[in-house]
Structure 1
Amino acid sequence: MSGDNRRFGFWNPAPTRHSALEDAQGIATGSMVAALGLTLIGSAGLVASGVAGVAFILHYLTGYSFGLYYIVLNMPFYALSLSRLGKAFTIKTFLAICLTSLITEIQPRYLKIETLDPVWAALLAGVLLGFGLLALYRHRASLGGLGILAVYLQDRFGIRAGLVQLGFDLVVLAAAFAVAAPYIVLCSVIGAIVLNLFLTINHRADRYIAM
């Protein structure tokens, strides 16, 4: 039994490095799951957390593409990522952002949502974004913006990534009152809490040591 555990990676005390193929599937899967969460947010008229929340606010105000705003708003954070977290992390994060933005833009063509309760949308989106980000974090990538900063602060100072994002998210969600009704903002807050609690509980370097 112990031999099977070691072979499949359970209770393995030594860190193992992901292969390029494993990174590719992790980034693709994480981006797809996160894009589904963002689609639910957009369909319910909610506001996401972090840079995605700013992108949604601009999208609602101007009508221009969410995906385009999301890519552009993340650009300033690549310098921090490159200097602090390395070339590999930056490249994988850039690919994850582009893929997530692309899927979010084209997904409404293939997924039609006729009825969606804002509270349920917030709960589902929070969980889906949590799973998507967790997959990306475990392959040394993120969805950019505050995610880059959160991962850096966790690696450098040991501050939980979920707690870092929660603080910034409260600021972004406060700005959401400019484009959404209080009830919608409240639902958005619920989604942000679910997302960040999910990451705080599950994203721990002492529990997952593959690289």
Structure 2
Amino acid sequence: MSDPSGGSETTTGPSLVFEGTTAPHTLADDVLGILTGTFAASLGLHLLHASEAVTGGTAGLSLLLGYATPWPFWVLFAVINIPFAVLAVVKKGWDFTIRTVICIALVSGFALVHETFFAIERLQPLYGTLAGNLLAGIGMLILFRHGGSVGGIHVVGLLIQERTGVRAGWTLMLFDVLVILIALLVVPWPNVLMSAAGAVLLNLVLALNHRPGRYIGR
């Protein structure tokens, strides 16, 4: 900042602009980040469940099966995602897999906490669907940035891409479309339309933020 008297520039305080150097996460950063990400994602899924909506991925499949069976969401989410986490050993290695298993367990655990302490008696479905997907997307984004995930079909998509050349994105899109379409058999069609819009919102959150150049913390 220039001195009004004509002197040389002086430093007035820390800048809010990030410097170009990277700052690797510490263990404390990762622990807090994973706790925050799993809490946000599970809260988003809790709102979706209260809205009788679904979303893409294995989270949407878990919600869907929760509506069609007496099994609670937190059990279904853990059971469905564990096989995908095991596949991650092949694709991502043990560090990523261990973090993923921890994230799956935390999301399931927090889902039980929300179910116990945050009972929702009345929620406008459109609001709950959009807010739920937004929170879930933010939570997943935080987890990605701390080297974790909540399992999911993306691991299968990567394996199919390696063996057949079919892009992983197409596999993910096909799975999401199938979940949304199957939901027509379980929930009212207006909820399915809202679910489709919410799934688009979730993927926009990830697509716009989870890409090279957007983050320098890892």
- Whether TM-score is above 0.5 comes out as yes
Aligned residues of 1:48 and 1:192 also touching (Cα < 8 A): yes
Structure 1 match to 2:192:
185
Structure 2 match to 1:88:
95
Deviation at 1:196, TM superposition (A): 0.4
Deviation per residue, 1:143-195 (Å, 9 max, x gap): 111254578899xx9x797x864443122111111111111111111110110
Unaligned runs of 5+ in 1: none
Deviation per residue, 1:123-157 (Å, 9 max, x gap): 10111011100100000111111254578899xx9
Cα RMSD (Å) of the superposition?
2.8
Q: TM-score by structure 2 length?
A: 0.83
Aligned residues of 2:134 and 2:201 also touching (Cα < 8 A): yes
**Letter of the structure 1 residue corresponding to residue 18 of structure 2:** F
Please tell me whether residue 133 in structure 1 is matched to residue 140 in structure 2.
Answer: yes
Structure 2 match to 1:69:
76
Q: How far, CA to CA, are the matches of 1:89 and 1:69 in structure 2?
A: 22
Q: TM-score by structure 1 length?
A: 0.85
* Change in 2 beyond 3 A, CA 1:17/1:148: farther
Deviation at 1:15, TM superposition (A): 3.4
**Letter of the structure 2 residue corresponding to residue 117 of structure 1:** Q
Aligned residues of 2:84 and 2:152 also touching (Cα < 8 A): yes
Please tell me whether residue 114 in structure 1 is matched to residue 121 in structure 2.
Answer: yes
Structure 1 match to 2:19:
11
Unaligned runs of 5+ in 2: 1-10
Please tell me whether residue 198 in structure 1 is matched to residue 205 in structure 2.
Answer: yes
**Letter of the structure 2 residue corresponding to residue 72 of structure 1:** V
* Change in 2 beyond 3 A, CA 1:160/1:26: farther
Q: How far, CA to CA, are the matches of 2:27 and 2:118 in structure 1?
A: 30
Judging by fraction of residues, say which structure has more helix: 1
Q: How far, CA to CA, are the matches of 2:35 and 2:17 in structure 1?
A: 22
For 1:146-157, list aligned pairs within 5 A.
146-148=153-155
Q: How far, CA to CA, are the matches of 2:14 and 2:176 in structure 1?
A: 42
Aligned residues of 2:154 and 2:168 also touching (Cα < 8 A): no
* Change in 2 beyond 3 A, CA 1:123/1:175: same
**Letter of the structure 2 residue corresponding to residue 95 of structure 1:** I
Q: How far, CA to CA, are the matches of 1:117 and 1:151 in structure 2?
A: 37
Q: How far, CA to CA, are the matches of 2:94 and 2:152 in structure 1?
A: 16
**Letter of the structure 1 residue corresponding to residue 30 of structure 2:** D
Aligned residues of 1:85 and 1:152 also touching (Cα < 8 A): no
Structure 2 match to 1:60:
67
* Change in 2 beyond 3 A, CA 1:108/1:129: same
* Change in 2 beyond 3 A, CA 1:150/1:135: farther
**Letter of the structure 1 residue corresponding to residue 56 of structure 2:** S
Q: Which moved more, 1:90-99 or 1:14-23?
A: 14-23
Aligned residues of 1:33 and 1:129 also touching (Cα < 8 A): yes
